[in-house]
Amino acid sequence: MEALLRAAGLPPDGLADQFPGGYAVAERERTLVGAVGIERYGDDGLLRSAVVAPEWRGPGLGERLVRERLAWAAGRGLGAVYLLTNTAAGYFPRLGFRPVDRASVPAAVRASLQFASVCPATAAVMVLSLRRSEPVSARAASEIESER
């Protein structure tokens, strides 16, 4: 897992503390080709380590892994999923994520290794609400519901 993350320029810091519990992985011929994790912090989650090997990008593997983790998070009653990204801020809105200010992120998530020290302050912060009372993009909401 660490080799795949490093090859993609993503930090493996803190991975051992959370893996494999909140992670979905994809393997082809006993080789790890993709992974996405959601770390739980109180009632919210932090999506991290979204990675697909270059030769497997394009056919939707990353999106399937992210959607599976979002359904996993919703099934466990998480209220929202946050993420930090330096490279994929244009990708995640189509999955229902929206940009937010760092200060609006719950303290438990901000205290995570990713927020506190691994990702730079310049990283984009995004959130997807899983709470029924808050607006979630129609596409994301219907897909999360259909996977429950």
Token pair for 123: 């990283």
CATH number of the domain that residue 24 is part of? 3.40.630.30
Percent of all residues in the chain with a pLDDT value above 90, rounded to a whole number: 34
Q: Summarize the confidence of residues 48-53 as an average pLDDT.
A: 77
The reported pTM is: 0.74
User: Has residue 145 got a pLDDT over 50?
Assistant: no
**By mean pLDDT, which of 56-60, 91-95, 133-137 is the weakest?**
133-137
Per-residue pLDDT band for 144 (boundaries 50, 70, 90) equals very low
What domain range includes position 23? 2-146
**By mean pLDDT, which of 13-17, 49-53, 58-62 is the weakest?**
13-17
Q: Which has more confidence, 71 or 24? A: 71
Q: How many domains does the chain have?
A: 1
Per-residue pLDDT band for 136 (boundaries 50, 70, 90) equals very low
Q: Which residues contact 128 (CB under 8 A, 6 or more apart)?
A: 70, 80, 81, 95, 96, 97, 98, 136, 140
Sheet with 23-28: strands ordered across: 23-28, 31-41, 44-52, 80-85, 124-129, 98-99
User: Has residue 10 got a pLDDT over 60?
Assistant: no
User: Has residue 18 got a pLDDT over 90?
Assistant: no
